[in-house]
Chains A and B, each alone.
Chain A
Amino acid sequence: MPKLRDVCRHVRSKVAGPFWVTIDLFFDGEENYRKYRDNVAIQPAAIAKIYGTDPNLVAIYKVENLSMIKISYPRAMPQGGVVERDLHSGQQYVSILDVELA
């Protein structure tokens, strides 16, 4: 089974305001985008589990013309709070790279 890192040419994450994180998955082409865009491994339940957030609030957007998927979710802990590991959420994408696509 391929991992997300095997089928994406670029993956990035960043804060979108203080309460949300947004992850951009740029697939390596239309083919892999179409093949994996609805994969269960990148659905809200799976994402919520990885990042410790509420699955009902995970939003997934498919951007056809860029062969990319945007995943947005609320931060589990407040930005800059008592336990802050990654203020800008710039390193959070790494936790998704080795997700195995069903």
Chain B
Amino acid sequence: MGSKPEFTKVKVFVPSGQLGAGVPASEVEAALERGMDVMAMDAGSTDSGAAYLATGTSKNSRDAVKADLLLLMAAQHKTGVPLIFGTAGQAGGDLNVDWTLDIVREIARDHGYRPKIAVLYSEQSAATIKAKNAAGKVRALPPLGPLADVTIDECRHIVALMGPEPYIAALEGGADIIIGGRSTDTAVLASFPLWKGAPIGPTWHAGKTAECGSQCTATVTLGSGVFITIDKDGFEVEPLHPANRCTVHSVSAHMLYENSNPFRLIEPGGVLDVSAAKYEQITERKVRVTGSVWHPQPYTMKLEGAAGGQYQTIMLIGIADPQVLSNLDLFHDRMHYALVSRVQRTMGEAAGKFDISLRIYGWNAVSGRPVPKDTAPPREVGVMCVITAETQDLATQMAKACNPYFFHMPLFDGVELPSYGFPFTPADIARGQVFEFKLNHVVELDDPMELVRTKWIDLAVEVTKEAAHA
């Protein structure tokens, strides 16, 4: 085996910011024409809440994810270029990863593809995290405090965010397709270039820039993907949609997006510092970035844990009554008191711990803040009643008990009872369980691979074995 060729350049196609969002075939063609070395993308996010990790499900439908994978796996088969995605199935827990693997296998079977697949699992057992915690290896990130075992036990699923190392190991092993569990978005994109010897600072910055696809372009709704070229001194980025472009502003401003610190980005094993980065418009649609610096740090992996809480049943009414609309704060307080009292009177101790929340859309449902005194009344409002209780059944029982008041409560006593506008029959809707993230902690590690499991599936070998047994 000879030594690795000296690094000059690497080309990364990032088809989309999210697997299942809809990769256009035209952009895959455009990437093929440019000659990509790897296809890499993010397949998940915590932005839409903890339900996906807690239940092991995906936000995007199976059909939507399959449509994107069909295009990308076809390109992988045609070119032999690796296809990498991380945080599979929205949350990157084992269930989410296996759900994605199932789709990949289905496509491979239907089209006669025989890729070598590496599956990277980063879900963690409660026992593992408790051991790390007991050994003093778990550190809290604000606003949370030190981790208690009881919090670990509350979580249905816990994942550790992978850096590039497991992906690099998979590439070393000859993977054609890598299905990664929960990872930092940037690491998924950085892995192939780092493997090829690309400069570290520019590689991480390129990964951060491209992780959301066309979000770093001038018109984010125009097209889906971006194309990155990393060389010895920096990187260049352009969109694949012919009418779109990257500008100095769109690329530099993207570092701000969904990031609490605009200058420093903490990743496993280091910090990306872009405070001295220089952005240059080198063509009217392409930007070149230099000056990105990587500061190595002791290796840590961030932990995420999703827990299931109480259950919610909701009811919704519309109100156009002008008198109610002129007295919405009073109406809210009267209604809230009436509903809570009703539950206490009819269910007593059996209610257990419960909460009733009234959200007045058209007034202050979204802000939750007091409305200034001189605010004009809206034309109409929607009032959503959210009842939270220990079980779904209890929450629904409470909704049924509250129904007469939610339906008919007048603003003042002694008037004929009004009827507010329900859109549905039945009136109560079992909304499901509350899911929250419980961990905002990092675990300190000596070995980036320690908490990762890698499964190899070589479809060329599997198919041959099946044929031999037929």
Chain A residues packing against B (C-beta within 8 Å): 14-20, 22, 24, 50, 54, 57, 59, 61, 63, 65-66, 68, 70, 72, 74, 78-83, 85-88, 91-92, 94-95
Contact = CB atoms under 8 A, between A and B. Distances in A.
Contact of B253 (A66, A80, A83): A66
B50 A68 contact: no
Contacts of B46: 17-18
A16 B357 contact: no
Given A14-B258, A19-B144, A22-B258, A86 B50 contact: no
Contacts of B50: 18, 79-80
Given A15-B47, A66-B252, A94-B367, A79 B260 contact: no
A91 B359 CA distance: 15
Contacts of A57: 142-143
Contacts of B355: 82-83
Given A19-B144, A80-B435, A59 B366 contact: no
Nearest to A26: B253
Interface string B40-65: 00000011111100000000000000
Interface string B346-376: 0000000001010100000111110000000
Given A57-B143, A85-B365, 9 more contacts: A16-B260, A18-B437, A19-B141, A61-B262, A70-B261, A72-B261, A80-B49, A83-B386, A94-B366
A59 to B, nearest CB: 7
Interface in B138-167: 141-144
Nearest to B143: A74
A17 B253 CA distance: 18
B437 A78 contact: yes
A19 B262 contact: no
Given A74-B142, A80-B436, A81-B436, A63 B357 contact: no
A22 B260 contact: yes
Of the four ranges (under 10, 10 to 19, 20 to 34, 35 or more), the interface on chain B belongs to 35 or more
B437 A61 contact: no
A70 B264 CA distance: 13
Contact of A81 (B141, B249, B434): B434
Contacts of A19: 141, 143-144, 437, 440
B215 to A, nearest CB: 11
B318 interface: no
A55 to B, nearest CB: 12
Given A59-B261, A94-B367, A95-B367, A66 B249 contact: yes
In the complex, the 7 A-B pairs of residues with the closest C-beta atoms, listed nearest first: A72-B260, A80-B49, A74-B143, A16-B260, A18-B437, A78-B436, A82-B388
